[in-house]
């Protein structure tokens, strides 16, 4: 049924799209149709070419070959304006909002003739209010974007498209930053819009979402369209196989008994800063031989906690103990000395130095202790160490003298992992350790963390991916606005329960009971 | 005693407004550039070029307003060069700006020597005259300060109002503010980041040149080397002081000019006998730094200031 609908009235047609970045082929001869009122999911791993394809459709990149047709007419390549005028709206994964402007200003931007006399603010706000009511996208037009939550910002992005009367809406990984409840709200909005004739392209790598929202799934792998299935004719297992191109085995994590607490926070708070949410009297124990998962929507204090444990900031109140020794002077160097291993959130910015080679990056934490002799660096030992990591951690690279920026994300992360695990750390801080990696690399990193756990390390796993948290963690905490939930043992809470804490609900109840 | 007398004299405030006028033009020019995300360090040189271009045009026979237009065009030319290098090519705005200042300054002196090879004292022109506005100029103190100025001063104040209105009330102003905050958000709404930034830099540079022309065509009636004397740099500070808002920047310019007018008068009082005059010359700058420290703490810098935008980059 879907197929005939597509054949009769394609609102959108991509024909033989090919796009190269240098030698890398990001999209290879991809063709795709979209019918009125249809939801097509574009499924694929990171780097499969999904975002590139949609950026071509939206005119941000010009395709090297092929063309885009909307309602039967060809779009000029490389012009977002033409795409917008043709009725295409796009919600980018990284929001494109001006933070210091208000919601309505962001929405009307570009919709009026540039040299027009007035912004017609009142009319614009009325239209926005009407749209947000009818599509259940609650947001205040006068609010400044910088004061909005991530979920609200996404609603503004969708309103931007609806305000222009978009007929085709592209959503790039829209649930990556949402709580499960917010994601449900988004799906409700999308169903409402589709019911009114909107067509949607939904980019994701999460199988359950794709099965829940899409009529049809298109799978991309290494820049090629490898399969197309109606959701009714496929299964999560089949899609997973198509996406990865085979099967990979995910490591198993069974429950373990906890060892002694190696790192304890007791009522720890930190000072307020401009950019990060401060910690609000949190108490946390990291036990030997256990993975402690920390769930939460990003920006709720996880970065602060990570900075605290890394030694970048010190507590302003409360007690911090490491292996039963109270910590007074606290710095990154002290943290390293205490055996804390850090896998930073952003391997490009803080995990590695892009223009240093593998040898140098491998010794960033130990250059002065392990590889120095009376102030001179022992390059021979350093090089040997790097070769050892390349061998042991299966880092695919031309050699130890390769600049790290030339490595893929997965190989870069393997180096970071090897750098910290080689020293048999007692405490491991793993902040988003698999973000942006493909499934093979994800399984590798998880397996190594599992081995470190077996070896008796206390691991703090910070992640926005609830599936990852629930699979790996022996105990789970949730962070919301700098507060920490109580610990939940493996299997004692599900995604919905965690979602409620992520939205801050549990904290209110707890405060209520306390008073 | 002396100080109170200075502060309540009409001539002091009239001087403050006069000194502020070129600063207002150039500050508004810089403000437009920075609001669009481009730091224009070419300001000092563009003011020199504007001062010269306007004056030489009038000396060659053009009417005064024709001179202002020539100055504006000269400034826009340098602005276009700045824009090509910093916006289209995405080069470092610091380097481009300093380069433009050096280029505009030396090109001006070169042209001066070519145009007037044998001259030891630069010729004078018939500069803008004070235009007293009837009735309003009769108000005590304020009247003489605000309503007995040259037409260019009135233009400076009028411009500030128009600019503020454009920035906050029109689609163009919204686009300029947005492009300085988040160029990506402008691009995905179908507008050209490069065109908006180029336009802002060119127009802003034109205003800087008019600020320079004020010196040769209104404050004085001739062109001297070192005439601009760091005013461009002061304007960059004034933009920060004004938190990138036209109204506040205008007040900042007047405040700075008042310090300057004040120190000139203070030199002639009893205090001036005991204190070296260099101390007085430093006063406006020291007070500016203090004001800057106090005012700019919570200023909201345009988030994309000095960040080049390359379309289609990954």
Low-confidence winner among A209-223, A254-268, A446-460 (lowest mean pLDDT): A254-268
Other CB atoms within a 10 A radius of the CB of residue A31 amount to 12
pLDDT band at A2 (very low <50, low <70, confident <90, very high): very low
Computed over every residue of chain A, the mean pLDDT equals: 88
pLDDT at B97 over 60: yes
Q: Minimal Cα distance from B177: which residue of A?
A: A101
Angle CA A268–A273–A279, to nearest 5: 20
Closest CA–CA distance from residue B140 to any residue of chain A (Å)? 38
The 3-class secondary structure across A98-141, one letter per residue, is CCCCEHHHHHHCCCCCCCCCCCCHHHHHHHHHHHHHHCCCCCCC
Residues from chain B contacting residue A115 (CB–CB below 8 Å): 171-172
Q: In 3D, which of B239, B217, B270 has the Cα closest to residue B38?
A: B239
Pairing of strands A340-343, A427-431: parallel
pLDDT at A446: 93
Angle CA A357–A360–A366, to nearest 5: 160
CA–CA distance from A304 to each of A269, A325, A342 (Å)? Answer: 10, 22, 14
Residues from chain B contacting residue A103 (CB–CB below 8 Å): none
CB A205 within 8 A of CB A33: no
pLDDT at B286: 84
Rounded Cα distance, A58 and A82, in Å? 9
Rounded Cα distance, A430 and A76, in Å? 45
Q: Angle formed by the axes of helices B171-181 and B193-214, to 10°?
A: 100
Pairing of strands A290-295, A458-462: parallel
Whether B200 and chain A come into contact, CB under 8 Å, resolves to no
Other CB atoms within a 10 A radius of the CB of residue A400 amount to 21
b or e along A476-500 (b: 16 or more beta carbons within 10 Å of the residue's beta carbon)? bbbbbebbbbebbebeebebebbbb
Rounded Cα distance, B17 and B144, in Å? 10
When pLDDT is averaged across residues A50-74 and rounded to a whole number, the result is: 91
pLDDT at B35 over 90: yes
Q: In 3D, which of A198, A214, A212 has the Cα closest to residue A89?
A: A198
pLDDT band at B312 (very low <50, low <70, confident <90, very high): low
The answer to whether the CB atoms of A60 and B311 lie below 8 A apart is yes
Q: Residue A484 pairs with which residues in a beta bridge?
A: A479
Q: Residue A370: CB partners within 8 Å, gap ≥ 6?
A: A363, A381, A385
The answer to whether the CB atoms of A62 and B312 lie below 8 A apart is yes
pLDDT at B65 over 60: yes
- Name the DSSP class of B122: P
Say whether A91 sits in a helix, a strand or coil: strand
Say whether B131 sits in a helix, a strand or coil: strand
Low-confidence winner among A65-79, A196-210, B1-15, B72-86 (lowest mean pLDDT): B1-15
Rounded Cα distance, A108 and A119, in Å? 8
The answer to whether the CB atoms of B171 and A114 lie below 8 A apart is yes
Rounded Cα distance, A244 and A224, in Å? 12
Q: pLDDT digits over B278-311, tens only?
A: 888 887 788 778 877 877 666 678 888 988 887 6
Paired tokens of B62: 């053009």
Q: Which of B170, B178, B300 sits opposite A109 (nearest CB)?
A: B178
Q: pLDDT digits over B100-146, tens only?
A: 999 999 999 999 999 998 888 899 999 999 998 888 888 888 888 88
When pLDDT is averaged across residues A312-341 and rounded to a whole number, the result is: 88
Q: In 3D, which of B293, B304, B246 has the Cα closest to residue B93?
A: B304
pLDDT at B313: 47
Residues from chain A contacting residue B245 (CB–CB below 8 Å): none
Element (H, E) at A344: none
The answer to whether the CB atoms of A80 and B186 lie below 8 A apart is no
When pLDDT is averaged across residues A357-385 and rounded to a whole number, the result is: 90
CB B263 within 8 A of CB B283: yes
Q: In 3D, which of A146, A33, A42, A31 has the Cα closest to residue A97?
A: A146
- Name the DSSP class of B85: I
pLDDT at A144: 93
pLDDT at B191: 94
pLDDT at A475 over 90: yes
Residues from chain A contacting residue B302 (CB–CB below 8 Å): 100
**Most confident option among A82-96, A352-366, A395-409, B13-27:** B13-27
pLDDT band at A3 (very low <50, low <70, confident <90, very high): very low
Which stretches of B141-286 are assigned E, i.e. beta strand?
148-149
What does residue B92 show for φ and ψ, rounded to 5 degrees? -55, 125
Q: Minimal Cα distance from B185: which residue of A?
A: A96
Rounded Cα distance, A143 and B276, in Å? 54
Paired tokens of A364: 């960033």
**How many helices (DSSP H) and strands (DSSP E) are in chain A?**
18, 23
Q: Residue A73 pairs with which residues in a beta bridge?
A: A70
The 3-class secondary structure across A262-288, one letter per residue, is EEEEEEEECCCCCCCCCCCCEEEEEEC
Residues from chain B contacting residue A80 (CB–CB below 8 Å): 187-190
pLDDT band at A4 (very low <50, low <70, confident <90, very high): very low
Best interface-test mutation with A: which of B189, B298, B299 has the largest number of A CBs within 10 A?
Answer: B189
> What percent of chain B shows pLDDT beyond 90?
68
The answer to whether the CB atoms of A98 and B171 lie below 8 A apart is no
pLDDT at B314: 40
Residues from chain A contacting residue B303 (CB–CB below 8 Å): 98-100
Residues from chain B contacting residue A274 (CB–CB below 8 Å): none
pLDDT at A506: 80
The answer to whether the CB atoms of B171 and A115 lie below 8 A apart is yes
pLDDT at A20 over 80: yes
Rounded Cα distance, A98 and A104, in Å? 11
pLDDT at A226: 92
Closest CA–CA distance from residue A279 to any residue of chain B (Å)? 24
> What percent of chain A shows pLDDT beyond 90?
55
b or e along A301-323 (b: 16 or more beta carbons within 10 Å of the residue's beta carbon)? bbbbbbbbbbbbbbbeeeebebe
pLDDT at A229: 93
pLDDT at A514: 60
pLDDT band at A346 (very low <50, low <70, confident <90, very high): confident
Whether B170 and chain A come into contact, CB under 8 Å, resolves to yes
pLDDT at B1 over 50: no
Say whether A43 sits in a helix, a strand or coil: strand
Rounded Cα distance, A94 and A84, in Å? 19
Low-confidence winner among A429-443, B50-64, B114-128, B155-169 (lowest mean pLDDT): A429-443
Element (H, E) at A422: none
pLDDT at A5 over 50: no
Q: Which of A60, A98, A110 sits opposite B181 (nearest CB)?
A: A98
Element (H, E) at A511: helix A505-514
Pairing of strands A427-431, A458-462: parallel
When pLDDT is averaged across residues A118-134 and rounded to a whole number, the result is: 93
Give the CA radius of gyration of chain B: 20
pLDDT at A350: 86
pLDDT at A8: 58
When pLDDT is averaged across residues A481-501 and rounded to a whole number, the result is: 90
Residues from chain B contacting residue A106 (CB–CB below 8 Å): 178, 185
The answer to whether the CB atoms of B178 and A58 lie below 8 A apart is no
CB A211 within 8 A of CB A51: no
Residue A371 exposure: Cα atoms within 13 Å on the Cβ side: 19
pLDDT at A472: 92
pLDDT at A513: 67
Q: Angle formed by the axes of helices A150-163 and A121-134, to 10°?
A: 110
Rounded Cα distance, B155 and A511, in Å? 61
The answer to whether the CB atoms of B190 and A114 lie below 8 A apart is no
- Name the DSSP class of A176: T
Best interface-test mutation with B: which of A110, A153, A163 has the largest number of B CBs within 10 A?
Answer: A110
CB A284 within 8 A of CB A290: no
Q: Residue B108: CB partners within 8 Å, gap ≥ 6?
A: B45, B48, B49, B52
pLDDT at B311: 62
Best interface-test mutation with B: which of A83, A98, A162, A274 has the largest number of B CBs within 10 A?
Answer: A98
Computed over every residue of chain B, the mean pLDDT equals: 91
pLDDT band at A6 (very low <50, low <70, confident <90, very high): very low
When pLDDT is averaged across residues A79-90 and rounded to a whole number, the result is: 93
Q: Residue A287 pairs with which residues in a beta bridge?
A: A261
Closest CA–CA distance from residue A97 to any residue of chain B (Å)? 5
Residues from chain A contacting residue B305 (CB–CB below 8 Å): none
Q: Which of A97, A117, A119 sits opposite B174 (nearest CB)?
A: A119
Q: In 3D, which of A199, A207, A200, A197 has the Cα closest to residue A229?
A: A207
Q: Residue A64 pairs with which residues in a beta bridge?
A: none
Residues from chain A contacting residue B178 (CB–CB below 8 Å): 98, 101, 105-106, 109
CA B291 to chain centre: 19
Q: In 3D, which of A254, A247, A283, A288 has the Cα closest to residue A267?
A: A283
Q: How high is the ipTM of this complex?
A: 0.88
Cα-Cα-Cα-Cα torsion A158, A163, A169, A171, nearest 10 degrees, comes to -20
Low-confidence winner among A111-125, A454-468, B260-274 (lowest mean pLDDT): B260-274
Residue B263 exposure: Cα atoms within 13 Å on the Cβ side: 19
Closest CA–CA distance from residue A311 to any residue of chain B (Å)? 28
């Amino acid at each position: 049924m879907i197929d005939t609908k597509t054949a009769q009235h394609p609102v959108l047609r991509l024909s033989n799209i090919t796009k190269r970045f240098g030698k890398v082929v990001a999209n290879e001869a991809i063709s795709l149709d979209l019918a009125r009122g249809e939801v097509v999911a574009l499924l694929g791993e990171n780097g499969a070419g999904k975002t590139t394809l949609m950026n071509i459709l939206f005119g941000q990149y010009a395709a090297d070959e092929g063309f885009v047709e909307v309602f039967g007419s060809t779009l000029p390549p490389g012009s977002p304006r033409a795409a917008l005028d043709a009725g295409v709206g796009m919600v980018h994964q990284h929001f494109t909002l001006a933070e210091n402007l208000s919601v309505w200003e962001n929405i009307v931007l570009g919709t009026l003739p540039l040299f027009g006399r007035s912004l017609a603010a009142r009319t614009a706000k009325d239209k926005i209010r009407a749209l947000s009511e009818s599509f259940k996208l609650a947001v205040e037009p006068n609010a400044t974007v910088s004061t909005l939550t991530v979920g609200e910002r996404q609603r503004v992005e969708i309103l931007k498209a609806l305000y222009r009367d978009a007929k085709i809406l592209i959503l790039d990984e829209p649930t990556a930053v949402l709580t499960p409840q917010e994601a449900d709200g988004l799906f409700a909005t999308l169903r409402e819009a589709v019911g009114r004739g909107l067509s949607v392209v939904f980019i994701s790598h999460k199988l359950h979402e794709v099965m829940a929202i899409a009529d049809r799934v298109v799978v991309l792998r290494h820049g090629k369209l490898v399969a197309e299935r109606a959701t009714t004719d496929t299964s999560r297992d089949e899609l997973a196989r198509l996406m990865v191109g085979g099967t990979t085995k995910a490591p198993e994590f069974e429950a373990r008994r906890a060892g002694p607490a190696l790192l304890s926070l007791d009522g720890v708070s930190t000072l307020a800063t401009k950019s990060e949410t401060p910690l609000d009297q949190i108490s946390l124990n990291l036990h030997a031989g256990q993975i402690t998962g920390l769930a939460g929507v990003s920006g709720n204090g996880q970065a602060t906690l990570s900075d605290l444990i890394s030694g970048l900031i010190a507590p302003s109140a409360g007690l911090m103990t490491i292996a039963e020794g109270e910590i007074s002077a606290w710095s990154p160097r002290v943290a390293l000395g205490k055996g804390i291993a850090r896998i930073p959130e952003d391997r490009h910015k803080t995990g590695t130095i892009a223009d240093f080679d593998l040898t140098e990056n491998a010794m960033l934490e130990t250059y002065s202790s392990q590889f120095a002799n009376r102030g001179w660096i022992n390059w021979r030992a350093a090089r040997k160490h790097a070769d050892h990591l390349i061998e042991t951690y299966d880092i695919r690279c031309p050699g130890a003298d390769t600049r790290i920026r030339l490595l893929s994300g997965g190989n870069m992360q393997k180096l970071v992992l090897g750098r910290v695990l080689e020293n048999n750390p007692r405490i491991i801080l793993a902040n988003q350790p698999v973000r942006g990696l493909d499934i093979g690399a994800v399984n590798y990193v998880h397996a190594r963390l599992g081995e470190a756990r077996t070896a008796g390390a206390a691991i703090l796993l910070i992640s926005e991916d609830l599936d990852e948290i629930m699979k790996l963690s022996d105990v789970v905490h949730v962070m919301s606005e700098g507060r920490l939930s109580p610990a939940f043992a493996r299997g004692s809470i599900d995604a919905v329960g965690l979602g409620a804490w992520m939205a801050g609900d549990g904290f209110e109840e707890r405060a209520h009971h306390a008073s | 005693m002396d100080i109170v007398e200075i502060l309540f004299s009409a001539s002091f405030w009239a001087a403050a407004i006069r000194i502020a006028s070129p600063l207002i033009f150039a500050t508004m020019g810089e403000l437009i550039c920075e609001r669009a995300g481009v730091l224009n360090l070419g300001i000092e040189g563009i003011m020199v070029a504007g001062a010269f271009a306007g004056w030489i045009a009038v000396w060659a026979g053009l009417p005064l307003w024709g001179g202002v237009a020539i100055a504006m065009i000269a400034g826009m030319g340098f602005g276009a060069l700045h824009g090509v290098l910093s916006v289209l090519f995405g080069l470092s705005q610091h380097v481009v700006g300093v380069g433009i200042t050096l280029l505009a300054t030396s090109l001006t002196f070169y042209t001066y020597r070519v145009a007037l090879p044998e001259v030891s004292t630069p010729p004078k022109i018939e500069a803008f005259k004070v235009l007293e506005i009837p009735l309003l100029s009769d108000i005590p103190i304020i009247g003489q300060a605000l309503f007995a100025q040259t037409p260019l001063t009135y233009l400076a104040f009028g411009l500030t109002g128009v600019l503020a209105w454009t920035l906050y009330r029109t689609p163009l102003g919204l686009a300029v503010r947005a492009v300085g905050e988040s160029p990506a958000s402008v691009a995905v709404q179908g507008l050209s980041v490069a065109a908006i930034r180029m336009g802002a830099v060119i127009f802003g540079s034109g205003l800087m040149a008019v600020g320079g022309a004020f010196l040769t065509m209104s404050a004085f009636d001739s062109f001297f080397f070192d005439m601009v004397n760091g005013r461009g740099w002061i304007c960059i500070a004034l933009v920060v002081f004004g938190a990138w808002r036209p109204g506040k920047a205008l007040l900042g310019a007047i405040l700075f000019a008042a310090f300057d007018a004040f120190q000139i008068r203070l030199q002639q009082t009893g205090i001036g006998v005991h204190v070296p005059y260099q101390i007085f010359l430093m006063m406006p700058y020291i007070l500016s730094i203090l004001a800057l420290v106090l005012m700019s703490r919570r200023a909201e810098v345009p988030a994309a200031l000095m960040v080049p935008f390359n379309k289609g980059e990954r």
